[in-house]
Amino acid sequence: MTITAERVLQGDPLKIADRCDQCGAQAFVRVLFSQNRDLLFCGHHYQRHEPVLMTRYPYVSVVDERHKINQKPSVSANAD
Ligand SMILES: [Zn+2]
């Protein structure tokens, strides 16, 4: 079975190992500029950059998985 790079990039859900390009936190949004060029953002940084990104690059594809933030209990979720 052959999987093209494009399919992998677009179909791959974000993994815990995917990190925000700005701060290194877990990434929840992937912005695809082209087949081999993307940016990863945490929820915080995507929210901050979204207006500029969507204005300058309205054609990009966005994989937005922010609904997964805090979906699964984590060690830090036990804080409260
Ligand atoms: Zn970030």
pLDDT attached to residue 19? 97
Residue 14 lies in a domain: yes
Residue 32 lies in a domain: yes
pLDDT attached to residue 7? 44
Residue 80 lies in a domain: no
CA 11 to centroid of ligand 1, rounded, Å: 22
Residue 29 sits in which domain range?
Answer: 10-68
Residue 15 lies in a domain: yes
pLDDT attached to residue 80? 53
Per-residue pLDDT reduced to its tens digit, 35-77 = 788 999 999 999 999 999 999 999 899 999 999 988 766 566 5
CA 75 to centroid of ligand 1, rounded, Å: 20
pLDDT attached to residue 36? 83
Q: Are 41 and 29 in contact (CB under 8 A)?
A: yes
CA 3 to centroid of ligand 1, rounded, Å: 30
Q: How confident is the model at residue 23 (pLDDT cuts 50, 70, 90)?
A: very high
DSSP for 12-69 reads PPP-TT-B-TTT-SBP-EEEEEETTEEEEE-HHHHHHHHHHHHHH-TT-EEEE-GGGT
CA distance 47 to 2: 35
pLDDT average, residue stretch 12-25: 92
How many domains is the chain partitioned into structurally? Answer: 1
